Structure 1
Amino acid sequence: MRKANIVGVDGSESALNAVRWATADAALHRVPLRLISVGAESLPDKARAAEESARRRWLAVAAQQVDEVAPGVETTSELRRGAPHAVLVEESAQGRRVIVGIRGLGEGGGMMVGSTAETVAMHAECPVVVVRARDVEPADPGPILVGVDGSRVGEAAVAAAFEEASVRHAPLVAVHVWMDVEVEPWLARDDDREWESIDETERAVLAERLAGWREKYPDVEVHRVVERDRPVRYLVEHGRQAQLIVVGSRGRGGMTGMLLGSTSRALLHMAPCPVLIARSTT
């Protein structure tokens, strides 16, 4: 059975942006789409009926968006009750990826607020895509931008980025930014030879991480970028020309307790385009 793209629907424009992105993505990858609207568990009967009626309207509007973007996508809609982030995390165990909007209505009346998106990104069992407030489709022109940290736990991001670049017929920009390696305290800024040596080493790291994937996806045009910069700053700046940024769910160290790396977490709030957080299983 094909795993579905899962989208939370809360009646906000941000959620509809997520629906549009998820629909086009589902069409590209030929997978089903599930629209889920989550309501509060404890409501008086009269309020519960009114709230449920509103959520059915939201799902109907979302279904119309699906028909406009890609009418052939197999779509199901579902009303659920509980905490929005908890429901989406639970659903992620059977999902292909969860797509959320970074903004929505308020905590009291809406679903896709920033904290919900961040919590889902931290705890989901499948990859998560966070879509910004502006209207954007995954078929927009521009490359796939992937952050490569040089660690084995970052392999999931590289794998996802190559797959996305291949299916979207887009170039892949593989970015390895190494200023987060703590060398500055002991290395003089004007020691060009030492900086060149580090740069050469980091380029070799990037080449090693890409080698097998370039053979698997010979159709993907790959551009390597090695920069002495901060990862978030570089990815945000160059994400303005990208259609998607792909990063790993954990940082360079890959610590088990680190549910979301600092770079990935910052990108949720700062990235100018959708962000795919690939889930590492190690």
Structure 2
Amino acid sequence: MSEHGAGAEILVGYDGSPDAAAALEWALDQARRDGRPVRLAYVFEWLTVAGWVGPGVTPGMWPDEQARRQVEELVGKAAADAAATHPGLDVRGEVLDGPPALILEEASTQAGLLVLGSRGHGGFAGLLAGSTAVNVTAHAHCPVVVVRRRPAESDRAGHVAVGVDGSEHSLLALGFAFEQAALRRVPLHVVRAWQPRREQWSLRGEQARDAALADQRAEVDEALRRGQESFPDVEVTVETAAAAPAGLLIDASRNAQLVVVGSRGRGGLRGMLLGSVSQQLLQHAHCPVAVVRER
């Protein structure tokens, strides 16, 4: 493993929902490949009319302790069941207190990978469609994988797809994608979508356009060189096109095991932590999405 948390645990945001169960199964499959421990984290958010309640509040504002015990039993059973069905894996669970996005962001500092279901209930209600997923994915201190529940998702035999635009974040995503393709022993499909300025499509004709696309391919080849040196057994295909990157990556995700992107690329506005391509993939990809950003 590389700088993406060698030996560090896989953290799973878990709330007992069907999508959280899919995220846990994905994480267990990943742990079986790379040997890392798995930690289930249920974020218990205490709400009152005054907002979030945590340690230090007055006794009259404490939440229902029975509900917390039920949560602890839920997480404990899920961890025990996962350990029983995946012998040899180190699986444990815990209940954390606070706003889910903030607590998961803090917990990610000790993780090598954070895995979330696309939607949940309780602390993760509306996860994918709302701001929580965007905040967690943008601010986490490790790569984040968002898993959308689909039948036989882990049985796909397809490739790992990755978007590359030459930005620092996309190069980090490329390194992560090489690792994942090598672990799964599947091909890596690299997508380089290029949206030229209008003057670049001017009257100079098809030859000029072909030359521009060749330049884009040369840039991709340069980025691929280091990954191919580290993972020589990974078969690599490259798709370069003058098109919207999100659309190409969504298409590439149809038969993929995983699609990988940087948190934002060259087109991102300064100060934005999650670009529009990443957000569109979280909403529309046909397979789990990994979003990689620098620690």
Report SS of the residue matched to 2:94.
Answer: strand
Alpha-carbon offset, residue 247 of structure 1: 0.6
1:152 equivalent in structure 2? 168
Does 1:77 find its partner at 2:82? no
Query: Within 2, Cα distance between the matches of 1:256 and 1:65?
Result: 45
Tell me: CA distance 1:61–1:90, structure 2 relative to 1, closer, same or farther (3 Å): same
1:233 equivalent in structure 2? 247
Alpha-carbon offset, residue 183 of structure 1: 1.6
Does 1:111 find its partner at 2:124? yes
Alpha-carbon deviations, 1:142-189, whole Å to 9, x = none?
10001111223321111001111111101100111112xx42355238
1:210 equivalent in structure 2? 224
2:32 equivalent in structure 1? 27
Q: 2:189, 2:239 within 8 Å by CA — same for their partners in 1?
A: yes
Q: 2:153, 2:287 within 8 Å by CA — same for their partners in 1?
A: no
Does 1:246 find its partner at 2:260? yes
Alpha-carbon offset, residue 42 of structure 1: 4.8
Within 5 A, what are the aligned runs for 1:132-151?
A: 132-135=148-151, 137-138=153-154, 140-151=156-167
Tell me: CA distance 1:148–1:70, structure 2 relative to 1, closer, same or farther (3 Å): same
Does 1:7 find its partner at 2:3? no
Alpha-carbon offset, residue 135 of structure 1: 4.4
Aligned residues: 276
Selected match of 2:102 from 63, 86, 107: 86
2:52 equivalent in structure 1? none
- Which TM-score applies when normalising by structure 2? 0.86
Query: Within 1, Cα distance between the matches of 2:291 and 2:203?
Result: 34
Alpha-carbon offset, residue 256 of structure 1: 5.7
Q: Which stretch shifts more, 148-157 or 159-168?
A: 148-157
1:188 equivalent in structure 2? 202
Does 1:267 find its partner at 2:272? no
Task: Give the aligned residue type for 1:245.
Answer: V
Q: 2:259, 2:288 within 8 Å by CA — same for their partners in 1?
A: yes
Report SS of the residue matched to 1:96.
Answer: strand
5+ residue gaps, structure 1, are none
Query: Within 1, Cα distance between the matches of 2:203 and 2:83?
Result: 56
Report SS of the residue matched to 2:157.
Answer: coil
Report SS of the residue matched to 1:93.
Answer: helix
Report SS of the residue matched to 2:115.
Answer: strand
- Which TM-score applies when normalising by structure 1? 0.90
Percent same amino acid among aligned pairs? Answer: 36
5+ residue gaps, structure 2, are 1-5, 49-59
2:183 equivalent in structure 1? 167
Alpha-carbon offset, residue 261 of structure 1: 1.6
Q: 1:19, 1:65 within 8 Å by CA — same for their partners in 2?
A: no
Tell me: CA distance 1:6–1:256, structure 2 relative to 1, closer, same or farther (3 Å): farther
Query: Within 1, Cα distance between the matches of 2:232 and 2:170?
Result: 21
Task: Give the aligned residue type for 1:175.
Answer: V
Query: Within 2, Cα distance between the matches of 1:189 and 1:242?
Result: 38
Within 5 A, what are the aligned runs for 1:28-107?
A: 28-42=33-47, 48-63=64-79, 66-67=82-83, 70-105=86-121
